[in-house]
Amino acid sequence: MERLEWAKQVILKVENGNYSIGDLDIKFHGVTPLGNPLAISFSRLKPDSVMSGPITFDYQGSVISQISESKLPLKLRQFKDFFYDLHALDLLSPELLRQKTKTANNSLGLGGEKLSAFLHEIGENARANIQEKLIEIYPKFKTIDVSSLRSGWKSLSIQEQFGDTNIKSEARHIADGLLRMLAIFSQLSKEQSFLLLDEIENGINPELIEFLVDQLVASDPQVLITTHSPMILNYMDDAVAIEGVIYIYKQPSGATKAIRLFDIPSMRKKLEVMGAGEVYEDTMLTQLNQEISEMV
């Protein structure tokens, strides 16, 4: 089953081996810097643009992946383009982050393996902005150094100041947590529509998590993080948690579903006296799934 809505109007529906696609009569009223609509109005579903029928082809993910671009209405093409611009850092590995690389082509790579070349390509001003953020949480940190070797490989190192002593450390000696912070801030320096981060607390000192969460909340691109750590939720303001914390669960049929965690009545009530992370930690997930079933 697949369903996509725009302005509360269904424009894609996949169910029982059939699909239907419709185009909205939409008018835009301005755009954000990333090109997203600030406001829209719509009157009706265009009857001559509806396409439907049985699914007679193989596909993975969304049915949109196998339908010709020329057959998709404008909003579905824009939706598809949005996900082409999505960047995921869900396999960040310290060993990959330490690698020398020649080119990044505007990407860190899924595991961060292009970090050294990426930092070289973004330029001095962007590196200076990243340095400022790192200095806030690592007082001894001084500079990011990226050198281009004769063979074309890019090598990453950092400099730290301890009293009168300046210490330069190559990537293979940089702490895992600092490397992950460097990768996250590097990716946030890039103009993009959406960034996915998996288990952001891995390898990062607990006292730095609040700073990282604040940076992600304030960032320009939309950011989706996955976590099993209640501590992450405790660093969110209640308003942010209510709007942005999504609980992923499976129905008895095996279908994956999502619901805003604090749309669940028992969760919202607990939030009146607890932090968001404390609410999650105080909850039996089996009972939570039962409550969701009763809501539906």
CA distance 201 to 282: 20
Mean pLDDT of 90-118: 88
What b/e string do you get for 109-120 counting C-beta neighbours within 10 Å, with b at 16 or more?
bebbbbbbbbbb
Q: Is the pLDDT of residue 24 over 90?
A: no
CA distance 192 to 186: 12
Q: Is the dihedral of CA 239, 244, 247, 251 positive or negative?
A: positive
Q: What is the pLDDT of residue 242?
A: 94
Q: Which of 86-100, 125-139, 145-159 has the lowest mean pLDDT?
A: 86-100
Hey, which residues does 259 pair with through a beta bridge? 247
More confident residue, 275 or 73: 275
Token pair, residue 295, equals 């809501």
Percent of the chain with pLDDT over 90: 41
Q: Is the pLDDT of residue 166 over 70?
A: yes
Helices of type H across the chain: 74-84, 94-97, 115-122, 124-137, 176-188, 206-218, 230-234, 238-244, 265-271, 276-281, 285-295
Model pLDDT for residues 199-216, shown as the tens digit of each residue: 888 888 888 999 999 999
Q: What is the pLDDT of residue 261?
A: 94
Q: What is the pLDDT of residue 49?
A: 54
Q: Is the dihedral of CA 197, 202, 203, 207 positive or negative?
A: positive
What b/e string do you get for 32-47 counting C-beta neighbours within 10 Å, with b at 16 or more?
eeeeebeeeeeeeeee
CA distance 91 to 264: 31
Q: Is the dihedral of CA 55, 61, 64, 68 positive or negative?
A: negative
Q: What is the pLDDT of residue 247?
A: 92
Q: What is the pLDDT of residue 30?
A: 45
Hey, which residues does 19 pair with through a beta bridge? 14, 53
- How many helices and strands (H and E) does the chain possess? 11, 14
Residue 22 backbone phi and psi in degrees, to 5: -130, 160
Please check whether residue 112 is in contact with residue 96, taking contact to mean a CB–CB distance below 8 angstroms: yes
Q: What is the pLDDT of residue 43?
A: 41
Q: What is the pLDDT of residue 33?
A: 42
Q: What is the pLDDT of residue 269?
A: 95
Residue 179 backbone phi and psi in degrees, to 5: -60, -45
pLDDT bucket at 142, cuts 50 / 70 / 90: very high
Model pLDDT for residues 28-84, shown as the tens digit of each residue: 444 444 455 444 443 444 544 567 888 888 888 888 888 888 888 888 888 888 777
Model pLDDT for residues 214-272, shown as the tens digit of each residue: 999 888 888 888 888 888 888 999 999 999 999 998 888 777 889 999 999 999 999 99
Mean pLDDT computed over every residue of the chain: 84
Using only C-alpha atoms, what is the Rg of the chain?
A: 23
Mean pLDDT of 19-28: 62
Tally Cβ neighbours within 10 Å of residue 158.
24
Model pLDDT for residues 107-118, shown as the tens digit of each residue: 888 888 999 999
